[in-house]
Structure 1
Amino acid sequence: MLDRIKASLSSLAPAEQRVGKLVLADPRAFANLPVTELADRSHVSKPTVVRFCRSMGYDGLSDFKLKLAGSVSEGVPFIHRSVDADDKTSDIAVKVIDNTVAAFLKYRNDASSFALEHAAQALAATQKTNRRIEFYGVGNSGIVAQDAQHKFFRLGVNAIAYSDGHMQVMSASMLRPGDCAVIISNSGRTRDLMDACDIAKKQGATTIVITASGSPLASAGHIHLTADHPEGYDKYSPMVSRLLHLLIIDILATTVALRIGEELQPTLRDMKNNLRSKRYT
């Protein structure tokens, strides 16, 4: 979170830069001080403090301070440890688990609740009007797209997943306003996914991209759900990224399910009852 603020300082307005410098100078104090004190110390107005938080992708000062407090708390292992060829199996297990836990905790503190809320609203609106939600991904991200289809299909959503570039382009060409396209990519640089996103956007569909910050895909969609992690997409087997993407899908599916409400319960009960014959007693 602090690295993101540092990298974004030069692009902010001068007044917001002063707020950002105050955060970097003493993040713990910033997380605990009232807005009046923060404004006085930054020599800005109280609305400017809130505006800075929103410029950084957070839903106001309270959301920003909550995530800031978590990111600077002690004992959170935000360190990615690469596996080595001479590692023992026990060492590999510890590193893989630690990397996953660290990525999840980091996402918990860094995630933009504003972007998640915006995405959930778009998906819930699509479900309510019985429009289409399509999930696009290739390779490893194609598996995540299929999992997303399964999650939303159970909610009674008209959902489908495509991992073939030609099918993505053809299907995106048939999207219309009110539909949603969710594009999932670790690198954010896959040409087929960029093409599908651009086409879906031109057709009037709402495009939600789940990918790394600073990638071409990150700025191509209407809503960007950041999935940053230290795992190199060109060097490592994408383990952490896959789990992080699945986590984001789970958050969205759970939020949409709660928005659908009680009307979903009879369908889920019927589904569970009908599946009983598929299992051994």
Structure 2
Amino acid sequence: MNDCLANIRRAVNGMSANERKLAEFIMNNASLLRDYSSQQLAEAVGVSQSSVVKFSQKLGYRGYPALKLAVSEELARGSAQADLGQIPPPPSHDSTGTVFEELAQTKADVVKAISELNSEQALLEVVRTIEKANRIQFVAAGGYSLVVKDFALKLMIMGKSVVAESDPFVQRANLASMRRGDVLFALSVSGQNGHVIELAEAAKEAGLTIVSLTKYDVNPLSLLADHSLFSLDERAASHYSASAPHIVARVALQHLIDALYMVLSSRDTHGRELLILSQQAVENL
């Protein structure tokens, strides 16, 4: 459903009183919806939480998270289309100084975008999930596995039980031995990688907690997740740098992972000390 708000606008006349309240609130406050849980939306409108869920399903979505993502996607797409005519062609770089300055500005813009896509509350929920986890398995699609493995290594040094294997057979074998209280951290920027989705579905059936990291979009992986984080795919990244969207996408992902690590280490004094000792040991080799 690419035109969520338009669909709501067309259907509003045939809605019940509670549904109309929800529809009008969403149409008038679409840009704020990203920060509202289903409970918060229900309280703001004056309806029950189940009314929010039923409203979302009546519009054809699996639940409120899917509706919220669809609205956010539509807003982002509209903003991007509005900005397309204003984006100048990539400048020719006459000096090294210009290259560094433009790259620094691009990174600053990307960092700001990531903070807008992910609320501090969402970040803290993922941090708490990792803190409470008995075991954590990381899986990643595409060329981002190195970023995930670096994060997994830091957690391992901090004393967490972590698995970050890239072999699909080993991933499935490890998943089969995991239990409630364990976490699957699944990264697929498209949110549609078949292997990652299969693992997430198996994790869901086993009662594991799923953390997804995808592009800011309605996608199968984020809908399976208990906690969702969002980065930029190369298409979105091209709005920041038409010549090097892959670099921008990697910067976005790395910034989000670094933010998770910084919050984790700030809350875990012992883990931070272990990491410092490990770094000192490596430097003395």
TM-score range, shorter chain: 0.5 to 0.7
1:224 aligns with 2:228: yes
Identity of aligned residues (%): 17
1:264 aligns with 2:271: yes
Aligned to 2:281: 274
1:118-267 maps to which residues of 2 (within 5 A)? 118-126=125-133, 131-212=134-215, 213-228=217-232, 231=235, 238-260=246-268, 262-267=269-274
Partner-residue secondary structure (3-state), 1:136: strand
Alpha-carbon displacement from aligned partner over 1:85-119 (angstroms, at most 9, x marks no partner) = x9557687666554433222122123233322221
1:19 aligns with 2:22: no
Residues of 1 paired with 2:175 and 2:88: CA distance?
A: 38
Alpha-carbon displacement from aligned partner over 1:30-84 (angstroms, at most 9, x marks no partner) = 9xxxxxxxxxxxxx997328999xx789xxxxxxxxxxxxx9xxxxxx9896987
Partner-residue secondary structure (3-state), 1:197: helix
Equivalent residues of 2:234, 2:249 under 8 A apart? no
Residues of 2 paired with 1:255 and 1:112: CA distance?
A: 13
Equivalent residues of 2:111, 2:252 under 8 A apart? yes
Equivalent residues of 1:135, 1:181 under 8 A apart? yes
CA apart distance, 1:142: 1.2
Please tell me the root mean square deviation across aligned C-alpha atoms, in Å. 4.2
Amino acid at match of 1:257: S
Q: Higher relative contact order at CA 8 Å, sep ≥6: structure 1 or structure 2?
A: 2
Residues of 1 paired with 2:110 and 2:46: CA distance?
A: 28
Partner-residue secondary structure (3-state), 1:134: strand
CA separation of 1:277/1:200 partners in 2, compared to 1, >3 Å: closer, same or farther? Answer: same
CA separation of 1:152/1:104 partners in 2, compared to 1, >3 Å: closer, same or farther? Answer: same
Equivalent residues of 1:227, 1:244 under 8 A apart? yes
Q: Which moved more, 1:179-188 or 1:143-152?
A: 143-152
Partner-residue secondary structure (3-state), 1:239: helix
CA apart distance, 1:123: 0.5
CA apart distance, 1:209: 0.4
Partner-residue secondary structure (3-state), 1:187: coil
1:10-49 maps to which residues of 2 (within 5 A)? 13-23=19-29, 47-48=44-45
Amino acid at match of 1:214: V
Residues of 2 paired with 1:143 and 1:8: CA distance?
A: 41
Partner-residue secondary structure (3-state), 1:226: strand
Partner-residue secondary structure (3-state), 2:169: helix
Residues of 2 paired with 1:168 and 1:233: CA distance?
A: 30
Equivalent residues of 2:142, 2:188 under 8 A apart? no
Alpha-carbon displacement from aligned partner over 1:221-263 (angstroms, at most 9, x marks no partner) = 2211122456269997632222222222222222222332x33
Partner-residue secondary structure (3-state), 1:251: helix
Residues of 1 paired with 2:27 and 2:8: CA distance?
A: 8
Partner-residue secondary structure (3-state), 1:152: helix
| Number of matched pairs | 232
Amino acid at match of 2:22: E
Residues of 2 paired with 1:143 and 1:22: CA distance?
A: 42
Equivalent residues of 2:189, 2:233 under 8 A apart? no
Partner-residue secondary structure (3-state), 2:128: helix
Residues of 2 paired with 1:139 and 1:111: CA distance?
A: 22
Equivalent residues of 2:232, 2:253 under 8 A apart? no
Partner-residue secondary structure (3-state), 2:254: helix
Q: Which moved more, 1:86-95 or 1:223-232?
A: 86-95
1:108 aligns with 2:134: no
Equivalent residues of 1:211, 1:217 under 8 A apart? yes
CA apart distance, 1:13: 4.2
CA separation of 1:172/1:265 partners in 2, compared to 1, >3 Å: closer, same or farther? Answer: closer
Residues of 2 paired with 1:229 and 1:7: CA distance?
A: 25
| Structure 1 unaligned spans of 5+ | 31-43, 58-70, 72-77
Q: TM-score, normalised by structure 1?
A: 0.65
CA separation of 1:167/1:16 partners in 2, compared to 1, >3 Å: closer, same or farther? Answer: same
